[in-house]
Structure 1
């Protein structure tokens, strides 16, 4: 190296060293300040997180009384369910109307048109399907058609409730 570059190299090396020391010092200072001010999770943050992950509904069956609580639908008074004398275990059947079945089983695909499903209340999407007749729509909804699984994947729903959902979607196009 020439003598002309020596002062530059020394100055540059000193500058890099000082910048490194400054960076390490700032990191240590930040860590110390963070450890002194950390008081744990904020109460409001914990409450907000708890409200976001709480269940949307609760079902309770005690002494033959069925109570369904939901934040999505208005509260209904508890229904009295008569236990069957010959049955050892109680079975609960929840009966949904067409809108309830649609919101449970159908809205995921028919609300957005996912996988080619006709969108809810979109007359242009439903027109060719309505031309096939309501019986064909019932059959497709019960047994599945193209990308749609049988009963929209909710095999526990009775056939009559699936038909109510089809009627609900068809009525929305009129």
Structure 2
């Protein structure tokens, strides 16, 4: 029984040569694993010192103001430039009327626009200005002037088989007041 008990507790290392190999492997295997891991981690190009992230162009792009990227600045004190119907369509109306979102009639679809065109320009313009069902007033852009909305309605309706006339631009109130003041005789 003691022989069986001793056989269970015997090691795989039976000679001094096997012991030296086991000790050497115990030191070399972790060192090789560490070297390979360091090679793997440092192999890719790093962003930072020594890369192109420190070039003058990269630094300028990183510290430039966010507001300069893709924005058009407008002078709010300048007189308003009224947009054409196609421009208003592209900037505001196309989101729904180009794809027919939420039941909006697609531009160019004469079947969908036919009943609206038959109702008349004033009715279609009223719906565009004040909203109808899922469409908000002025297409959701309150900065649009009524004339711009009317131009967009004419553009979309005419692209879809209508024959509406382009709306006239009303004269500015200041210009008409100045013109009427100049035509009155001065009395002392």
Q: For this structure pair, what is the TM-score category when the shorter chain's length is used for normalisation?
A: 0.5 to 0.7
Query: Which of 92, 115, 125 does residue 102 from structure 2 map onto?
Result: 115
Please provide the CA RMSD for this pair: 3.2
The corresponding residue for 2:42 is 35
Aligned to 1:59: 73
Q: Note if 1:127 corresponds to 2:104.
A: no
Structure number with higher helix proportion: 2
Once residues 41 and 81 of structure 2 are traced to their aligned partners in structure 1, the CA distance between those partners, rounded to angstroms, is 53
Normalising by structure 2, report the TM-score.
0.52
State how 1:76-155 maps to structure 2 within 5 Å. Answer: 90-155=77-142
Deviations 1:9-51 (A, max 9, x none): xxxxxxxxxxxxxxxx6xx9567424332232878xx8xxx9x
Q: Is the 8 A contact 2:82 2:145 kept in 1?
A: no
Give the TM-score normalised by structure 1: 0.56
Shift of 1:138: 0.4
Unaligned runs of 5+ in 1: 1-24, 62-88
SS at 2:93's partner residue?
helix
Tell me the matched-pair count.
116
More strand by share: 1
